[in-house]
Amino acid sequence: MTAKIHRVVFQPDGRTLQVPDGQTLLEASRAAGLHLQAPCGGKGTCGGCRVIIPQDPPSPSEACRRELTGEELRRHMRLACQVRVHRDMRVVVPEETRLGDQKILTEGTGRDVPLDPNVRRASVHLPPPTVADQRADADRLLDTLAEKDLPDLTIDVKVLRELPEKLRTHDFHVSAVVIGNDVVQLDPPTAGTACYGVAFDIGTTTLVAYLVDLTTGKTVAVASRGNPQAAYGDDVIARIEFCGRTKDGARVLHDLVLDAMNEMVAEACHRAAIKPSAVYEATVVGNTTMNHLVLKLPVEPIARAPFVAASASAHSVLAKELGLKIQPRGRVYTAPLVASFVGADTVGVILATGMHESRRLRMAVDIGTNGEIVLGMRERLLACSTAAGPAFEGARIRYGMRAATGAIDCVDLDGDRLRLHTIDEAPAVGLCGTGLIDAVAALVGAGVIGGSGLMQSAEQLAARRPALARRITGADGDIGFVLAAKGETGTGHPILLTQRDVREVQLAKGAMAAGMATLLDEFGAKLSDIDEILLAGAFGNFIRPERALGIGLLPRVPIEKVKFIGNAAGAGARMLLVNRGLRRVADDVARGVEHVELSQRPDFQTRFADAMFFPG
């Protein structure tokens, strides 16, 4: 069952990944959000992605021999892009190889877009004025910029106030920074051309910031954080309720997320050895609630029927106005939204996957507390949001927890033998989302859980699977299956999968599956018409697809049609940063996507009930 998957442990932090056979270590690390230095993009020419393989390192490739010294090779150092995974292995990532925090998925499958950022810098030499050429300073500058392929600009009056002196101090030679169509800053000609942007993926749970060099389009540093708003509720509804009952609650949540964004900017800038004042623009994708909290827009109507956002449009706001500590004249672009529960993150996913341009029918799925699903192709895109509930994030599960140290993240049943894996290989303390899916899938496969979700009693199992029957036990008026006995855990109590947990999984996967089925029906397509299912986001990336198919969380498609696309929302944010033309595309996408409101569909409840069963 796990034949084609190998377990790779990255040191020093012990992150364990399921890596398909044949993938390179660099690809594996990217898919997992381990962000390694790789300016060459994995061609073996930059020597950035150096890692150490302590035991039985593969013989060095030609690229390794070229890029690494003999001493380094002797220390078992290799380039991650050159090592294909064909067995379980342990890998040490030296500090200098790391770009970002490796607990959070930061890489996404972005498409390449032409470098045409919204922030541009031009060093220009103006013809000095003469009595025969008395053009105003502003016209002189704009005319010259127009000749440099920067036409139709305007200059804000604040910049104009500095213009005459700056021109005359530097002999009519200046470096101009242009954001959108506005000249926002004038520097001495010696200022160079450094110019950065930061793309934010603002999730309910997780924040990621990508620092991008806008002269090359390359990501030069990544930082990430848990969303500190989590202290006020796990999901957006809880946070909106907090805003509703607390004076200045929205302000509190705004300040929290901005503080975290500022920390990430500072961290990423420090790592790239630049000043935050060299960052001229930020792009933001996030769900509607996160978008509104960042913009200081009211959120309460989002959570009250009929669930209406204040604004679904893209906005471009002064960084200073929001309290984002980049260049004070910089701007923050927030991507447009589709609906109250289908946000800019979904728009980012569509841009990153190119679904809006594709002739192939694809379905993108972001599994979280709210599962967002997009189905379609160039001609038509449908999206819905479905309340999967927090089961996959560890909530409402008896021994549930987030994907952190000691969480059981893999469960395999080999005959009667149960094999567990925990994050950081620490003693088990609970069950995270992937472990939960694994456990349910394994027990369904073994007949411990029936098609209706009913867990067999010890008596029912005793004849058929005596070893498993012994793991069935009572639990506070419920029954449960012992995954780890009292003596095998780090907590002093056993870890069980209970009947109620199974019901929670059924509700969650039922909602997701019913959403997918509804979109397919609305589109007028059959399951077999789907060319690809794209799993986006941090959680999706760690799921084992055969298990998700096994419990019916994903519809029954050939497993090779399931693709991991990583943090596609973040990739969309980066694309919007490096190519301003995409912003108009984003507007079109946001307005063009048909939002399917599941609660309005008479057939949704039936589908939901049907989808709660496990596949035969």
DSSP secondary structure letters along 559-580: GGGEEEEESHHHHHHHHHHHBT
CB of 254 to a second copy, least distance (A): 11
Residues that bind a second copy (CB under 8 A): 129-140, 154-155, 157, 160-161, 163-165, 168, 295-298, 300-301, 305-313, 315, 317, 321, 337, 339-340, 595, 597, 599-600
CB of 77 to a second copy, least distance (A): 50
**Which tokens sit at 207?**
């924040």
> Do 459 and 512 meet the contact criterion of CB atoms below 8 Å apart?
no
Q: How many residues does the chain have?
A: 616
Nearer Cβ to a second copy (172/614): 172
Distance CA 211, CA 197 (A): 6
CB of 207 to a second copy, least distance (A): 21
Amino acid of residue 455: M
CB of 447 to a second copy, least distance (A): 42
Nearer Cβ to a second copy (205/340): 340
CB of 597 to a second copy, least distance (A): 6
DSSP secondary structure letters along 391-457: GGGTTTSTTB--S-TTEEEEEEEETTEEEEEEGGGPPB-EE-HHHHHHHHHHHHHTTSB-TTSPBPP
3-class SS of residue 523: helix
Distance CA 276, CA 324 (A): 10
**Which tokens sit at 45?**
């020419």
Distance CA 50, CA 48 (A): 6
Distance CA 396, CA 391 (A): 6
Nearer Cβ to a second copy (84/315): 315
CB of 167 to a second copy, least distance (A): 9
Q: How many CB atoms lie within 10 A of CB 250?
A: 21
CB of 250 to a second copy, least distance (A): 10
Nearer Cβ to a second copy (68/142): 142
What are the b/e assignments for 89-106, b being 16+ CB within 10 Å? bebbbeeebbbbbbbbbb
**Phi, psi at 27, each rounded to 5°:** -60, -45
CB of 323 to a second copy, least distance (A): 13
CB of 522 to a second copy, least distance (A): 15
Strands 206-213 and 182-187: unpaired
Nearer Cβ to a second copy (243/534): 243
Amino acid of residue 150: L
Nearer Cβ to a second copy (143/610): 143
CB of 330 to a second copy, least distance (A): 16
> Do 51 and 78 meet the contact criterion of CB atoms below 8 Å apart?
yes
Nearer Cβ to a second copy (528/600): 600
133 bridge partner residues: 130
Amino acid of residue 212: V
